[in-house]
Amino acid sequence: MTLTRRNAWNNGGTFDNPDLLWYAKAVAVMKSRPISDATSWWFYAAIHMEYYNTDPIPKYDYLAWKKIKSIPQALLQTAPSESLTNQYWNQCTHGNLFFLPWHRGYLAAIEHLLRDIIVNDLKGPADWALPYWNYLNRKEHQDKVPDAFTQKTLKLSATEEIDNPLYVPERYTQSFSDLTEKSQGMLRFSYFSNELEDNPHGHAHVDTGGGTPPLGLMSKLQTAGLDPIFYLHHANIDRMWAAWNKHGNHNPTDQAWLNSVDNVIKKPFAMPMDSAGTPWVYTSKDVTTTDINYYNNTVYQFTYDDLSLYSDDTKTVLTSQEVWASRLKTLNPDIDAVTMIQIPMELNAELAGANSGQLDLTKGTVQTKVALDSKSWDKVGNTLLSASPNNLPDEVFLQLEGVKGTEDGNKVALFVNQEFVTKFSLFGLETASAPDNHGGAGLTLRADITHIIDKLHLEGNFDVDALDIQLEVQGEIDERGTITVDRIGLYRVQQ
């Protein structure tokens, strides 16, 4: 049976939507189980990441699970066995190309578990599937948390009312206006995955949880899985991946990705299939499509009721082909109409400039210069001069390297030569900065500035020694907060 994941906003995003009603009832069952049970809500949240065995830094002390008021503390009393926690907890992968496949398997496992409860314990529909929350559908005002997640109680009958299992008080939702779907127009998986992970994924996390202290559950990796909206958010991210594939874009084919072997992976991808913790172990190759190679050699099939590439038709978003065609025509007006451009999938980047010295963003706004290496810069200029469909010009990226600190709820806006480029989410910053978790490398944030370089070229201002960079922190930073950037690198990507 192919399951269909449907829009959470159906029937107004209330409990009139049966997908949400059954979800709430099944979540209540999972939430009633102790954390020692591998099928409990708490155990599954810890598979993503946890502050149960791990202590937060003092600044986020209030997010330690044993201090979160909405968790019934009695259910946290007995810890699972060490072998279970070693195998399953703190698996989530972020900031690399395994982000999408790991989360697809995670969603399938919890969806399967919830459906088992719905069908066997609650006698609900056998075709229930996890709904998705498409905050990019602005036309129909879906860029807010559905009502079923915000009301404090759930009426089961005329006489019976319970605490709403989908509501958590630690959710301080802010505007979703920064969300974009630029990722959907990108042809290369590495561009697509990187962009999708930052926006909408990272932005939606902090917009839902809140960016100003105290942070909500969704704003930290270690607490996000506790909020029932988390799984609907990730279903939407997964939907965007499926839509991207459906529209002719391809996943990586290298063995390292397919077999999930890379030192960025913390542990083998594994999900518990029952309360004793029987594992389903998978790799990327098992989840490259929505027909998953699942537990016990079965196929787990699902789809989405909407696999449109774009949701927000209030904005014009161009595909990569259209962007390239327009770019070539602008750089070289003599080119005839461009129909199909062969864009190489192989990436080959080279540093062409950098700033010097670490940047401290703790005060809010920082300006610096990215000095250009004349030899590399000339190469960029030459490709712009000879741009044609058979001789594609370089792309140029800025990369914020070693972004470290504590301010997971903040965002940073990037300006180049006084022109706004993008806004980065710092979701996961503190974890990425911890030496015993991510090797202390911090976040790597990347922005395509090709259009700015093209403009310099077209306006005859290409012959410069440096670019002016401004970074603006968007939220508040308290006295214990830090944000630093080790280096800003400028890279040319040869085509």
Q: Return residues touching other proteins (CB under 8 A).
A: 54, 86, 190, 255-256, 258-259, 261, 263-267, 346-354, 356, 358, 371, 373, 375-376, 397, 399, 401-402, 435-441, 486-487, 489, 491, 493
Burial 295-322 (b: 16+ CB within 10 A, else e): beeeebebbbeeeebbbbeeeebebbee
Alpha-carbon span 73 to 428, nearest angstrom: 26
219, 409 Cβ separation under 8 angstroms:
yes
Between 36 and 437, whose beta carbon lies closer to other proteins? 437
To other proteins, the closest distance from the beta carbon of 337 in angstroms equals 31
To other proteins, the closest distance from the beta carbon of 322 in angstroms equals 23
To other proteins, the closest distance from the beta carbon of 391 in angstroms equals 18
Alpha-carbon span 143 to 174, nearest angstrom: 11
To other proteins, the closest distance from the beta carbon of 402 in angstroms equals 5
Helix axes 99-116, 18-31, angle to 10 degrees: 90
Between 247 and 266, whose beta carbon lies closer to other proteins? 266
272, 261 Cβ separation under 8 angstroms:
no
Between 265 and 270, whose beta carbon lies closer to other proteins? 265
Q: 148: which 2 tokens?
A: 């079923």
To other proteins, the closest distance from the beta carbon of 311 in angstroms equals 29
Q: Residue holding tokens 């083998």?
A: 268
Between 69 and 267, whose beta carbon lies closer to other proteins? 267
To other proteins, the closest distance from the beta carbon of 447 in angstroms equals 12
Judged by DSSP in three states, 53 sits in coil
Between 13 and 353, whose beta carbon lies closer to other proteins? 353
| CB-neighbour burial class of residue 484 (10 A; exposed 0-12, middle 13-18, buried 19+) | middle
H/E element holding 456?
helix 450-458
Closest CA to 445 of 405, 483, 410, 402: 402
396, 350 Cβ separation under 8 angstroms:
no
Between 342 and 356, whose beta carbon lies closer to other proteins? 356
60, 67 Cβ separation under 8 angstroms:
no
Alpha-carbon span 290 to 286, nearest angstrom: 9
Alpha-carbon span 85 to 59, nearest angstrom: 25
Between 170 and 430, whose beta carbon lies closer to other proteins? 430
Judged by DSSP in three states, 175 sits in coil
To other proteins, the closest distance from the beta carbon of 92 in angstroms equals 12
Instruction: Identify each DSSP E strand in 191-330 by its residue range.
Output: 269-272, 279-282, 291-293, 299-304
Between 358 and 391, whose beta carbon lies closer to other proteins? 358
Between 21 and 493, whose beta carbon lies closer to other proteins? 493
Between 162 and 351, whose beta carbon lies closer to other proteins? 351
Helices assigned H by DSSP within 227-355:
229-246, 255-258, 320-331
148, 14 Cβ separation under 8 angstroms:
yes
To other proteins, the closest distance from the beta carbon of 246 in angstroms equals 26
To other proteins, the closest distance from the beta carbon of 436 in angstroms equals 5
Helices assigned H by DSSP within 139-202:
189-196
To other proteins, the closest distance from the beta carbon of 420 in angstroms equals 23
Between 55 and 140, whose beta carbon lies closer to other proteins? 55
493, 394 Cβ separation under 8 angstroms:
yes
Helix axes 374-385, 450-458, angle to 10 degrees: 80
Alpha-carbon span 224 to 222, nearest angstrom: 6
Alpha-carbon span 276 to 324, nearest angstrom: 53
To other proteins, the closest distance from the beta carbon of 86 in angstroms equals 7
To other proteins, the closest distance from the beta carbon of 349 in angstroms equals 4
Between 65 and 167, whose beta carbon lies closer to other proteins? 65
